[in-house]
Amino acid sequence: MEPPKELSQPKDKLILIADDDEPVREFLNTIVSNEGFRVVTAKDGPDALAKIEQNKPDLIITDLMMPGQGGYEVLRQLQTPETRRIPIIVVTASRVNDSTIQMIRSEANVIEFISKPIQIPVLVTALHHYLRTKPPELQKDKLFRLFRPNE
């Protein structure tokens, strides 16, 4: 049996966040940054594709529904040999039927499908699991106080 590999540090991983809704994009940026990851953001599909080419992210979080070239079109364009290795987490507020979800999950690099409103623990667990990174334990309490100050 092979010994378990040591976990990476989040600061060594770059995550691209693509969402046309600026408050959602900033919310995701805050969550991901507070976990210690480096972040680059994109406001739509073309912006995301350009930034993927420039930055070579380790993981992509993309909204499914964006004006013009949306998340689904981006997913299709990321099925090349160079980009298929980049894991993708799809987030959406849209009601999507089960067959559409299965079609999206059938793309080689789609690893998660998360509905909005985003459950912070679900997202951060997925990020650390798929990128094999060590969560910053001390910052978890700080992050939850940031979004739920009265608890």
Render pLDDT for 29-69 as a digit per residue (tens, 0 to 9): 999 999 999 999 999 989 999 999 999 999 999 988 887 77
* CB atoms inside a 10 Å sphere around CB 118: 17
Rounded mean pLDDT of 11-37? 95
pLDDT at 147: 59
Token duo for residue 103 = 């079609």
What structural domains does the chain harbor? 13-140 (3.40.50.2300)
The pLDDT of residue 149 is: 57
Phi first, then psi, for residue 96 (nearest 5°) are -125, 130
Q: What is the pLDDT of residues 92-129, one digit of tens each?
A: 876 766 777 777 777 778 888 888 888 999 999 999 99
d(CA 88, CA 91): 10
**In contact, 44 and 15? CB cutoff 8 Å:** no
Reported pTM: 0.82
Residue 135 in contact with residue 35, Cβ under 8 Å? yes
Would you state the pLDDT for residue 141?
55
β-sheet bridge partners, residue 42: 18
Report CA dihedral (15, 18, 22, 26) to the nearest 10 degrees: -10
Q: With a cut of 50, say whether residue 138 has pLDDT above it.
A: no
> What's the pLDDT at 3?
47
Mean pLDDT of 4-30: 91
Q: For 8-17, 25-34, 59-68, 135-144, which range has the lowest pLDDT when averaged over its residues?
A: 135-144
